[in-house]
Amino acid sequence: MKLEKSQTAQHIIEKISATASKVGFISDTVLSNALLQIENVGIPNNKHEDYKYCNIDSILKKEFKNIEQNFINVTAINEYKIKDTITLVVVNGNYSEALSDKIILKGLQVHSFANIDSSANKLISTIADVQKDVFIAMNTAFCSNGFYLKIQKGEKLKMPIHIIYISGSETEALVNSRNFIELEEQSEATIIEEQILIGQGKVFTNFLSEKFISKNAKLNSTLFQNEGHLGYSVNTNQIKQEQDSQYHNHTITLSGQLVRNNHNVLLAGQNSEANLNGLFYSKENQIIDNHTLMDHQAPHCESNELYKGIIKDKSTGVFNGKIFVRKDAQKTNAYQSSKNILLSDDASIYAKPQLEIYANDVKCSHGTSTGKIDEKALFYLNTRGIGKESAKKLLLRSFAQEIINKIEPESLKEKITLFFEKNL
């Protein structure tokens, strides 16, 4: 059994270990734990409760038989830039200083993993536990030369940071992309992460971001995913918040053959706040699977989650939101809501809220709704001369706007709106 489980993993390890970074910023202990974990757990299939609707083992077996790691060398990224932002570029998992803007913004430090000092090195892998998920383990064992980003104490960044993760291959390839983002005490930043795929080959990305938000710090972030039908990815966003900190995130997924997002927030210090907003739009036979985990460990924290899905054609959408309220997390406010529109009879959505509460003085709620486009509203619009197609678009746009309107800065909101409109 164990042997069978690790077969896919073994195949992948052989293929990617050659191109994995040998930078050595992962300690030997962590590395051997990671390797052990991969061997023990293997790549999850649909028998694995957490990966029930997204059988990654079978997808890898079927779609990634001929991994060649034949990457495209990206030389220009101007077309992806967003005005009035600092651009950082990661190509096929490796931080590219050459393509990134010069870091001259006060309070901001960025280094590739190969160039970090020992204090930063110690932080890596402290938030994402290799025992928790096999993709964390795999990323830890085989990640490329990603980056460490720090906002210094007390600094409020004057400009948003736009991180472009661009990957591309002419044949099948695997990327293990990783970063660590640290906001020191009382700092503030807006960070945009955008995943782009080029080339004609299928690329499987195992993305991992650890984000540490210190006391009184505030992070506003957006993850924008639009990789198209060649993009397969598991994205782990592992957040740790200290007291009085704030985390606002918008995860916008407009396409991807397989997109699995593991968004895990640990509220470790009291009075902290986390807001997760999600919008996903799946079509054809795509699978977009959002798993969130809100772990309330400290008292007086608040979390809000709102995920909206539009599921078209034969595609599958998943929202699985787990809220833990640990026994010390008194006076917790935790809210979660998932709303979905199915655009065809063949589209599926699996929405599952999970609450586990061990404290006795908390306010928690969750709700999920799934429906078709509101026929009454559609008819009302028709009677005003608005045609079927544009009426449908008007309604979908209004459904998405609740999420899109929260996105900052304005230039990013416009970019996402434009891509969303194209999808309609």
Partner 1 sequence: MISIKNLHASVNGKKILNGINLEIKAGEIHAIMGPNGSGKSTLSSVLAGHPDYEVTEGEIIFNGKNLLELEAENRAREGLFLAFQYPVEIPGVSNINFLKTAINEIREYNGLEQMAAKDFLAMVKEKQKLVELDGKLTNRSVNEGFSGGEKKRNEIFQLAMLEPKLAILDETDSGLDIDALKIVANGVNMLKNKNNAFIVITHYQRLLDYIIPDFVHVLYNGKIVKSGTKEMALELEAKGYDEVKKEFDFKK
> Residue 339 CB, nearest distance to partner 1 (Å)?
11
d(Cα 174, Cα 230) in Å, to the nearest integer? Answer: 12
CA atoms within 13 A on the CB side of 81: 13
CB 184 within 8 A of CB 213: no
Of residues 358 and 379, the one with the C-beta less far from partner 1 = 379
> Residue 392 CB, nearest distance to partner 1 (Å)?
12
Tokens of 416: 């996402």
Of residues 228 and 371, the one with the C-beta less far from partner 1 = 371
Of residues 114 and 373, the one with the C-beta less far from partner 1 = 373
CB 222 within 8 A of CB 261: no
CA nearest to 41, candidates 92, 89, 6, 72: 6
> Residue 188 CB, nearest distance to partner 1 (Å)?
30
> Residue 292 CB, nearest distance to partner 1 (Å)?
23
> Residue 383 CB, nearest distance to partner 1 (Å)?
5
Across-strand partners of 163? Answer: 88, 193
d(Cα 88, Cα 141) in Å, to the nearest integer? Answer: 24
Torsions phi, psi for 60 (to 5 deg): -65, -40
Of residues 123 and 378, the one with the C-beta less far from partner 1 = 378
Residues 6+ apart with CB under 8 A from 354: 320, 321, 322, 323
Of residues 287 and 381, the one with the C-beta less far from partner 1 = 381
d(Cα 344, Cα 119) in Å, to the nearest integer? Answer: 52
> Residue 393 CB, nearest distance to partner 1 (Å)?
9
Of residues 24 and 387, the one with the C-beta less far from partner 1 = 387
| Positions in the binding site for partner 1 (CB under 8 A) | 374, 376-377, 379-388, 390-391, 394-395, 397-399, 401-402
Element containing residue 57 per DSSP (H, E) = helix 56-63
